[in-house]
Structure 1
Amino acid sequence: MSLRNRLVLTVIGLLALGLFIGLGATWGALQDWKSDRQPDELLSRSLNVALISGGVALLAVALLSWRAVRRGLRPLDDIADTAAEIGSGDLTRRVPPGPPNTEMGKLADALNGMLTQLETAFSERRASEEKLRRFVADASHELRTPIATIRGHAELFRRGAATRPDDLAKVMRRIESEAERMGVLVDELLLLARLDQGRPLEREPVDLSALAADAVADALATAPSREITLTAAPVVVFGDSLRLRQVLGNLLSNVLQHTPSSATATVHVYPADGEAVIEVEDTGPGIADVERIFERFHRAAESRTHAGAGLGLSIVAAVVDAHDGHVAVESVPDRGSRFTVVLPTRATRG
């Protein structure tokens, strides 16, 4: 029974109790009136009966009302206690559920739903803040290395390398190389920041088979001795051609950097179930920590000797996600890895 109905029935019962007590007092007075007693005595007796019965009725009404209200509002005390514990920082607390289909039950369900959303929001905020702190720390660490290198070579230049042509050329090459590396890192960080902010990308029809052919050609130009094959069927998606080209380039660059020269690579592009699929497969040594491969600044132990900040695959994941797609990786030790990118086609997006 709902709190409203219980309070209404309690008030009706208390009024009935008072009415019956008053009727009883009146009936007793009428019985005395029928007797041979004097009117003054009858009036005095009726007044006493009315006062006593009224006092008893008032006391009974007050006690029963207090008990009914206290019992009906007890869930509010539980809510207040829960709110106090939540205010002290315990977001896991919940309001005790009330009887179903009652005001307190509905209120408890609504508050618990709100508390769940608040706990989720705070958890996401803490995770986001921790991720941001880690991102800033990693970015600072990655930028510190080229800056320190540039500073060191500038110091060599100041100490007299300018008077030695061979040393001067070496110093300038190193400064230029580190400046270029720092510029690439800053560009990658800015791209990830834009993607995190959800800024809209260019949307136009893009032929993935043509992009894959360009990416493979560029990879072969970089490493002519590598064996990279392409099997591509015509498939068009609706997206940003520059960023999708970067996805293919980063996946192939990952193969070239982290597999031996004897390893082969294969790129497949094909439509499947209304979606576009890109697969980049290699016969390298495989990836040890697949679950962390798309984390920013993460570099596997076997790849720490190679250049790069560990942002290439993070950019792949972010760009694919911005196109409403998903990317996955499968890896078998000593047999190779396969990255699979799935994107909605133009027809799927409608």
Structure 2
Amino acid sequence: MTFLRSTLYNSIDASVRGYASTDAVSGLIDVEVEGGQVSFTPRDEDDVPPTPYFVAVYGPDGALEAVAGGSGGIEPDFPDTFTLQATAARGLSPFALPDVEGDERFLAAVDVFQPDGVGDLFTQMVVVSTASTNQVVATFLGIYAVISVVILGAGALGTRWLVTLTFRSLGQVEDTAMSIASGDFSQRMTDIEPRTEVGRLKIAINTMLGRIDAAISQREATVRQMRRFIGDASHELRTPLVTVRGYAELYRMGAIPPGDDTAQAMDRIEKEAIRMGVLVEDLLALARLDERRDVDITPVDLRPVARDAALDVRATSPKRTVTVIEAIDDVLPGGDTPAGESDTDAKKRTSPPTAVIARAGASLLRRRSKTPPSAPADPDADTLPIAVRRPQPVVSGDENRIRQVVANLLGNARRFTGDDSPIELRVGVDPVASTGWIEVVDHGEGVPDQLKEKIFQRFWRADTSRTRETGGTGLGLSIVASIVDALHGDVRVLDTPGGGATFRVSFPLAQQREPEEHLLIETQPLPRLERDDL
């Protein structure tokens, strides 16, 4: 309908422009010039045949001089004045003109003309009615509406008949679906003909039912884990809350005298509050990772990440030896070379390791080693150099999240090894897989093979008791797994030669191998250590 209306109105526009560009006045109005004065007299209607347009003449001063033409019916409401300036501004562009009742039913165009023997210019306004065009559009609209209703009705009836005929064999599907709706998920479709739509539908339903069974089983397992975790979390929160409340009541009753006792009570309250905060932060971290928010992927050099992590551990555990090693190019992690063992082509640095990250995470089935092996250390070293080799371990990832992964793994290693047990941080590149990797190597009791897949599950703890000696909350390693998955990496646990566990985290190498300047190891000079700090 829009196309029809546009076409008809374009035709009217062309007609009114054509009439306005010709001498439309002379055929309808007599022009008399006497004494330099011009007068316009419309001819008698009996002497002039009906025309499809009206003509109005305006003088040089813009006053309406005469009106003629038309074929009867409603007449346009001509403006009382129309100056030559307005005529020049309009040109031959059509414009709407209302009728005497105020409705816009006409299109008008104007042009100038000069009667013979007169030096002044006059304006002729030609007006064409759009009533017939509007009537045609309305008629076609009604016809199309009726035809559309008839077609839609016939189509609906035909579609219903065709669907009923085609899917008449769906009775078994309906009966099976009703049984499933009542809770019997053991039902399956039979009499399957895979060449028909109904047969393919039955195959799809059977596949869906199998997945539903698996999903229900998985949900039940998750619910059991959730209930277990809720009990664990409740116990974790209840213990510090009871402690804080107990000290508060003792202080209120005056049982804690001022002085050292008050300071000790405040210290205990602070530590318990920190415990609660750590648990809440782990839960929030998992919630954010579950939301799959966009991460800031940039080139990250793994060497300064390992270096900073080692310095953090040194600040919190001065007795522990931490070695940062950049592996040689042709030795991949997990080979015959023991993790943390010095190589002729690889330099390493030692320092007492780094800060505890707020929850080491999901605990391993290991206890603190009573006789940990010692790692070589150079007490005369003033700096902690790291060998720079090629290719560089520059990966695509989020630097802050990679640092959190390393911190969680270091916290896990510190939890399950003695205070003087060494830890190695190994950094390298796997050119075959196009990945850069970082390993956290400890020398504790290791992880049994049957637990290596479970330790990354959420809410899983090897220590099912609630003594919290080593059990934790079961969130730390699940946070590691979630971050690595979000960064399209890989995390796994290997056996450390000689005893212990090696956690290896791999990330895709950055396409642009040059990281930002502040991430390069060359721009990260290590501070000199005073002898008393070692």
Q: State the TM-score, normalized to the length of structure 1.
A: 0.69
2:457 is matched with which residue?
295
2:505 to 325, 328, 341: 341
Give the 3 Å change call, closer, same or farther, for CA 207–255 of structure 1 in structure 2: same
Residue identity opposite 1:320 in structure 2? V
What is the rounded CA distance, in whole Å, between the counterparts of 1:225 and 1:182 in structure 2?
A: 28
| CA distance in structure 2 between the partners assigned to 1:154 and 1:293 by the alignment | 38
Q: Give the whole-Å Cα distance in 1 for the aligned partners of 2:220 and 2:271.
A: 38
How far did residue 329 of structure 1 move? 1.2
Q: 1:172 to 1:261 in 2, by over 3 A?
A: closer
2:496 and 2:502 in contact (8 A); partners too: no
1:182 to partner: Cα distance: 1.3
- Name 2:411's counterpart in structure 1: 253
Correspondence for 2:425: 267
Amino acid at match of 2:393: V
Residue equivalent to 1:148: 242
Does the CA contact (< 8 Å) of 2:441 and 2:496 recur in 1? no
Provide the residue aligned with 1:87 in structure 2: 181
Alpha-carbon displacement from aligned partner over 1:195-249 (angstroms, at most 9, x marks no partner): 1121222322211111011101111222222222111353122222111111111
Is the deviation greater in 165-174 or in 333-342?
Answer: 333-342
C-alpha distance in structure 1 between counterparts of 2:401 and 2:494, whole Å = 23
CA distance in 1, matches of 2:500, 2:245: 40
Q: d(CA) in 1 for partners of 2:298 and 2:231?
A: 37
Distance 1:132 1:305, change over 3 A: closer
Alpha-carbon distance, 1:339 to partner: 0.8
Q: Where does residue 330 of structure 1 map in the other structure?
A: 494
- Tell me the alpha carbon deviations over residues 118-171 of structure 1, each in whole angstroms, 9 at most, x when there is no partner: 555555555555555544443333222211111111122122144332221111
Change beyond 3 A, Cα 1:80–1:282: same
Conserved 8 A contact 1:143-1:182: yes
Does the 8 Å CA contact 1:213/1:230 hold for their aligned counterparts?
A: yes
Q: Paired residue for 2:122?
A: none
Q: How far is 1:101 from its partner?
A: 1.6
Q: Unpaired segments of 5 or more residues in structure 1?
A: 1-71
CA deviations over 1:50-81 (Å, ceiling 9, x no partner):
xxxxxxxxxxxxxxxxxxxxxx9995343233
Instruction: Give the 3-state SS of the residue equivalent to 2:296 in structure 1.
Output: coil
Report the CA distance shift for 1:346/1:91 in structure 2 as closer, same or farther (over 3 A): farther
Return the alpha-carbon distance in structure 2 between the equivalents of residues 251 and 285 of structure 1.
Answer: 16
Counterpart code for 1:245: R
C-alpha contact 2:397 2:507 (8 A) present in aligned 1: no
Tell which deviates more after alignment, 132-141 or 163-172: 132-141
TM-score when scaled to structure 2? 0.47
Are 1:284 and 2:444 an aligned pair?
yes
Matches within 5 A, 1:1-350: 76-116=170-210, 118-119=212-213, 131-232=225-326, 234-272=392-430, 273-288=433-448, 289-301=451-463, 304-306=468-470, 308-331=472-495, 335-347=499-511
Aligned-pair distance for 1:117? 5.0
Task: Quote the Cα distance in structure 2 between the aligned partners of 1:323 and 1:238.
Answer: 8
Deviates more, 1:84-93 or 1:98-107: 98-107
Contact in 1 for aligned 2:425/2:438 (Cα 8 Å): yes
Shift in Å at residue 333 of structure 1?
Answer: 11
Larger relative helix fraction:
1
RMSD of equivalent CA atoms: 3.0
User: Amino acid of the residue matched to residue 266 of structure 1?
Assistant: E
Letter in 2 for 1:212: A
Partner of 2:378: none
1:83 aligned partner, one-letter code: A
Q: Distance in 2 between matches of 1:172 and 1:307?
A: 26
Q: 2: CA distance between counterparts of 1:74 and 1:333?
A: 68
Secondary structure of 1:225's partner?
Answer: coil
Q: SS at the partner of 1:278?
A: strand
One-letter identity of the residue aligned with 1:284: G
CA contact (8 A) 2:394 2:510 kept: yes
SS of 2:507's partner is strand
Q: Cα 1:126–1:306, aligned 2, differ >3 Å: closer, same or farther?
A: closer
Give the Å deviation of 1:268: 1.3
Quick one: structure 1 residues 103 and 300, their matched pair in 2 at CA, closer, same or farther if it must change by over 3 Å? Answer: closer
* Structure 2 spans left out of the alignment, 5+ residues: 1-165, 327-388, 513-534
Aligned length: 277
Conserved in 1, the CA contact under 8 Å of 2:452 and 2:493?
A: yes
> Within 1, Cα distance between the matches of 2:291 and 2:225?
15
CA contact (8 A) 2:244 2:269 kept: yes
More displaced stretch, 298-307 vs 219-228: 298-307
Q: Does the 8 Å CA contact 1:286/1:333 hold for their aligned counterparts? A: no
Q: 1:332 to 1:84 in 2, by over 3 A?
A: farther
Q: Distance in 2 between matches of 1:109 and 1:117?
A: 13
Compared CA separation, residues 102 and 315, structure 1 to 2 (3 A) = closer
Larger radius of gyration: 2
Structure 2 letter corresponding to 1:315 = I
